[in-house]
Structure 1
Amino acid sequence: MTQQQPLLKMQGITKEYFGNRVLTDVSLDLNRGEVLGLVGENGAGKSTLMNILFGMSVIVQTGGYAGKVFIDGKEVSFQNPFDALKAGIGMVHQEFSLIPGFTATENILLNGEILHDNIVTKLFGPRLKTLDLPEMRAIAEKSIELLGVEISPDTLVAEMPVGHRQFTELAREIHRPEMKVLVLDEPTAVLTESEAEVLLTSLRRLAATGIAIIFITHRLQEILDICDRIVILRDGQVVKEIATHDTDIGQVAELMVGRSVDTKAIATATYDTQQETVLAVEHLWVDMPGETVRDVSFEVHKGEIFGIGGLAGQGKLGIPNGIMGLCPAGGTVILHGKPIHLEDPAAALAASMAFVSEDRRGVGLLMEEPLDWNIAFTAMQVQNKFLRPLLGGLIKWRDDRAIRKVTREYIEALEIKCTGVEQPAQELSGGNQQKVCLAKAFGVEPNLLFVSEPTRGIDVGAKALVLKALRRYNSENGTTIVMVSSELEELRSICDRIAIIDEGRVAGILSPAATAKEFGMLMIGKLKNTDDKVVSHA
């Protein structure tokens, strides 16, 4: 008996962004009518792999990719999403791409409108054809009916609840007669439980018609409920492919986050549980788009490296941005026994806190300015460092010699690769820009340092140097550090305790030596506390 040829086959896919490899030799296949779950931590490579399949422009603009993609046994290479759509590939992204002022019908048939002739076209040609609105409405109704939801095809998208918009996105993809493969990226993230159940039922119905589905979500129970197989990505590689009936949530969660841990780094941690509380956060809320914090409480002790992790969009990035005054926030933040006035960046800096932002280009650096100016600027503004008083203090003059001296010291200490102190920050690689951000923060000699996504978008070698610099600064200066990262193993290698954020709240606080399964279950909201208090293995 001959084996069925896969509808989709991706073979040996490898992708780099500016020297940083994000996918390495990834292969997967997909059969007609099959639902394949694609899971992994943030940054595991799921979105990049799907962007390659869908011909997204970011792939072509960054040098393309290595490997091959086959549809029905024929090799394809999509240069844009229109090529993918013609080949029968549809994709529903996390962000809506609907036109608010259009109806459901108009959005579903966008770029596929049905036209018909009229008296005018007979005189002036086909350019004056008009929309066949009844036919379009009938097609839209059929797509919506297939999904099992009640949405009027005449409703404006702007007037729809969020759940109905998600179903409209899906209806737009499945109405195409050439549809073969449908990619869904976090389709239930904005849905209620009842809406999510309707969607899963709809997907089973679609699969029964022969459409193959790639289902991406962090809600692992949905993966087990609907998928036939699961492919697990970690660090840009496939670590496991398994049938759903042969696994469970615990195993999948462990495989998602279970990289080897630097046990030596954990064993040599110097965290003292008897040290005084430096930072106390109580019922913090932060209104940061995409990273809303609802109710977060925790304490950080003197000299500790406190980690904050969790999946994307759960609120971890909102915590430092709220405390440092960059986003609307409320609740109570106490530093060294004194309350911090929120929504006031100057007050945060004056209280001897510093912040290395996840957005190094937008917030962290003055991209067109030289390195010495970048490193000294905050310390000069907030603490009057590198300023010489003249005329009895009436005039303050910038001490360029001192600025250059301290810049050279940081270039040497952090191994910043550059041509000199006057090189503009924009000319440095991502890893070296991140080191400049660290030097800028170290320069104000803070009592408490927030570091957010310190190794995002930099290569493995640069990551190791950045983490080493943080650990050394902590041990040599006794500076308390709060580190936010999407990469759990980085947190486990450097932190004394790690809080996992889920749905804007602290799901638990664990020792870095806790098992990968425990961390994974906290991340997906499956490890609950019987007394509603924080889990702590510290």
Structure 2
Amino acid sequence: MSMEIPLLKMENIGKEYFGNRVLQGVTFSLRPGEIMGLVGENGAGKSTLMNILFGMPVIQETGGYEGKIIIDGQEVHFKDPLDALEAGIGMVHQEFSLIPGFTATENILLNRESVKYNALVEVFGERLMTLNRPDMRSRAEKAIKTLGVDLSPETLISEMPVGHKQFTEIAREIDRRKTRLLVLDEPTAVLAESEATVLISALKTLSKQGIAIIFISHRLQEIIDLCDKLIVLRDGRVIQEAYTKDTNVRQIASWMVDRKGDKAEEEKAEKTEKKIGDVILRTEHLWVDMPGETVRDVSIEVRQGEILGFGGLAGQGKVGISNGIMGLYAAGGKVFLRGKEIKLNDPDASLKEGMAFVSEDRRGVGLLLEEGIDWNITFTAMQVQEKFIKKLLGGLVKWRDDKAVDECTREYIKSLEIRCTGPNQRAIELSGGNQQKVCLAKAFAVNPEILFVSEPTRGIDVGAKKLVLDTLRKVNEEDGTTIIMTSSELEELRSICDRIAIINEGKVSGILPASAPAEEFGLLMLGHVEEPAAVN
């Protein structure tokens, strides 16, 4: 083995967010022109690792990181992303950072425009250099040509299909003369298959020019087709490092998904057989236009008293289903509750029918941040069901029953262990985990027949996670509440659900009992559709 100095080495990288450990002892190195795949489930720590490499402010603001970043044998300390760009590291994020009203050329060369001299410069200084349009265009064309895509430099971003935006973003990194390492965070998630193929051959071309690439993707076949090697992150640690020529999709899937499965099965066996009734909710060809989580065609039946899970990778549509049924995004198709068709696109209708929703977006949809915990927990029940309200003269005079509100709030603070100064503390002052518990309490207060929970444990620590899941289990067993739960964490779904539907590309790719082996779910997540005979 030659003693060539790697272009990049990350050594013993660790990171904690507010006492929550997200990375531990991560080490890898990368040579010029080498393409490395970075894989792992959502929440395994991939994005945090790249944020550290790129000097993102969020890392500095939360106490920095442990370990070393070494470039060309020298340790570096990036204060911000500009430092990383100076060192030749380019990054293409999942969320586009393009300016919609500008053309491809203008976006590719943003802040690095070619300028030419004119007479006004003498008077007013360099601010009045004129843009050298022809030179800009030829630079943009060169970057686009390197990619090998059919993209006109003059097209406005706002008029481009998603795939072309992605290519513009990458062309921008290529134009930086310094770029030596390109990080791509799920670049193909938004591309059609034909575009993904073009992108992969473009990246191979770049690597031949000596540019090293870190490629984050859930499409494991692409990792094998494109990368020289891969590392698998799980729970913030490197579980496996391998050359792609020595492995295959199924093996990578099993490295990604933890083998805690057997424990889950033992726990399942101990659970008492619960009574699951008839179909209570069904959808026919449901579609939901939720940005980033489009639902294309979902027909599913949910039985009274069961906990049904929606799993799948990020961006495949699992999150859109409950948002569509609850009227938060434009939806079509049909939804029936106890055989009666429910009006879509009307949040009130679903609440009045006895459904409640704990959204994944607790700040935007879940909480009245400036109000107290008490008001947050009881508000919906008060509005929709007139709970916590005293009436006089047959309801002509109504007022809030503050004592009942206070009692109810104290009960939930106790049972959910909400850490707060008291029922009146404002929601905005609570930690994320405690805000999440308030969202749950708000849904429980409605005493719904069907409870939708989306990413109920996202961003909360292990202790709070267990409590949230135990509470859901208890509400299901004791009150018979039917629960439909969406989560990015397969193990979490397996520990609590009866059945799990995996959503891929906006459709159901299969429904399995929670006790099915982890890798069967893994394959469904990667789009290997189950034979229809096996469904239900």
TM-score, normalised to structure 1, is: 0.95
Distance 1:508 1:273, change over 3 A: farther
Q: Distance in 1 between matches of 2:104 and 2:132?
A: 15
Q: Deviations over 1:267-325 (max 9, x none)?
A: 23456586211111221111111111111011111211111111111111111111111
Q: Find out whether 1:98 has 2:98 as its counterpart.
A: yes
Q: Find out whether 1:528 has 2:529 as its counterpart.
A: yes
**Residue 508 of structure 1, CA deviation:** 0.5
Q: Distance in 2 between matches of 1:249 and 1:184?
A: 20
Distance 1:493 1:178, change over 3 A: same
The answer as to whether partners of 1:435 and 1:466 remain within 8 angstroms in 2 is yes
What is the aligned partner in structure 1 of residue 511 from structure 2? 509
What is the aligned partner in structure 1 of residue 245 from structure 2? 245
The answer as to whether partners of 2:276 and 2:304 remain within 8 angstroms in 1 is no
The answer as to whether partners of 2:137 and 2:153 remain within 8 angstroms in 1 is yes
TM-score, normalised to structure 2, is: 0.95
**Residue 82 of structure 1, CA deviation:** 1.0
**Unpaired runs of at least 5, structure 1:** none
Q: Find out whether 1:31 has 2:21 as its counterpart.
A: no
What is the aligned partner in structure 2 of residue 113 from structure 1? 113
What is the aligned partner in structure 1 of residue 481 from structure 2? 479
Distance 1:36 1:273, change over 3 A: farther
Distance 1:330 1:272, change over 3 A: farther
Q: Which structure 2 residues correspond to residues 187-206 of structure 1 after superposition, within 5 A?
A: 187-206=187-206
The answer as to whether partners of 2:276 and 2:306 remain within 8 angstroms in 1 is no
Q: Distance in 2 between matches of 1:233 and 1:534?
A: 34
Amino acid at match of 1:300: V
Amino acid at match of 2:242: I
**Residue 156 of structure 1, CA deviation:** 3.4
**Residue 64 of structure 1, CA deviation:** 2.0
Q: Distance in 2 between matches of 1:373 and 1:154?
A: 53
Amino acid at match of 1:194: S
Amino acid at match of 2:451: L
Q: Distance in 2 between matches of 1:515 and 1:142?
A: 49
Higher mean C-alpha displacement, 482-491 vs 260-269: 260-269
**Residue 248 of structure 1, CA deviation:** 0.5
Amino acid at match of 1:304: E
Q: Distance in 2 between matches of 1:220 and 1:412?
A: 45
What is the aligned partner in structure 2 of residue 60 from structure 1? 60
Amino acid at match of 2:438: V
The answer as to whether partners of 2:312 and 2:504 remain within 8 angstroms in 1 is yes
What is the aligned partner in structure 1 of residue 472 from structure 2? 470
What is the aligned partner in structure 2 of residue 10 from structure 1? 10
Residue of 313, 318, 321 corresponding to 2:320: 318
Residue of 488, 491, 507 corresponding to 1:489: 491
Residue of 339, 345, 349 corresponding to 2:347: 345
User: What secondary structure is seen at the aligned counterpart in 2 of 1:346?
Assistant: helix
Q: Distance in 2 between matches of 1:501 and 1:292?
A: 11
Amino acid at match of 2:194: S
Amino acid at match of 2:73: G
Distance 1:428 1:124, change over 3 A: closer
Q: Distance in 2 between matches of 1:124 and 1:394?
A: 73
The answer as to whether partners of 1:37 and 1:231 remain within 8 angstroms in 2 is yes
The answer as to whether partners of 1:56 and 1:80 remain within 8 angstroms in 2 is yes
Q: Distance in 1 between matches of 2:52 and 2:415?
A: 39
Q: Deviations over 1:3-60 (max 9, x none)?
A: 2221111112222233322222222211111000011111211111111111222222
Q: Distance in 2 between matches of 1:315 and 1:503?
A: 7
Q: Distance in 2 between matches of 1:301 and 1:271?
A: 15
The answer as to whether partners of 2:524 and 2:530 remain within 8 angstroms in 1 is no
Q: Distance in 2 between matches of 1:127 and 1:373?
A: 54
Q: Find out whether 1:430 has 2:432 as its counterpart.
A: yes
Q: CA RMSD in A?
A: 1.9
Q: Distance in 2 between matches of 1:389 and 1:489?
A: 47
User: What secondary structure is seen at the aligned counterpart in 1 of 2:395?
Assistant: coil
Amino acid at match of 2:295: V
Q: Distance in 2 between matches of 1:419 and 1:126?
A: 57
Q: Which structure 2 residues correspond to residues 403-414 of structure 1 after superposition, within 5 A?
A: 403-414=405-416
**Residue 353 of structure 1, CA deviation:** 1.0
Q: Deviations over 1:495-520 (max 9, x none)?
A: 11100000111010111221221111
Amino acid at match of 1:341: K
Q: Which structure 2 residues correspond to residues 69-108 of structure 1 after superposition, within 5 A?
A: 69-108=69-108
Distance 1:122 1:335, change over 3 A: closer
Q: How many residues align?
A: 534
Q: Which structure 2 residues correspond to residues 353-502 of structure 1 after superposition, within 5 A?
A: 353-502=355-504
The answer as to whether partners of 1:251 and 1:517 remain within 8 angstroms in 2 is no
**Unpaired runs of at least 5, structure 2:** none
Distance 1:340 1:231, change over 3 A: same
Amino acid at match of 1:455: T
**Residue 209 of structure 1, CA deviation:** 1.2
The answer as to whether partners of 2:14 and 2:67 remain within 8 angstroms in 1 is yes
**Residue 392 of structure 1, CA deviation:** 4.2
Q: Distance in 2 between matches of 1:484 and 1:159?
A: 33
Q: Distance in 2 between matches of 1:151 and 1:377?
A: 51
User: What secondary structure is seen at the aligned counterpart in 1 of 2:98?
Assistant: coil
Higher mean C-alpha displacement, 370-379 vs 268-277: 268-277
Higher mean C-alpha displacement, 124-133 vs 183-192: 124-133
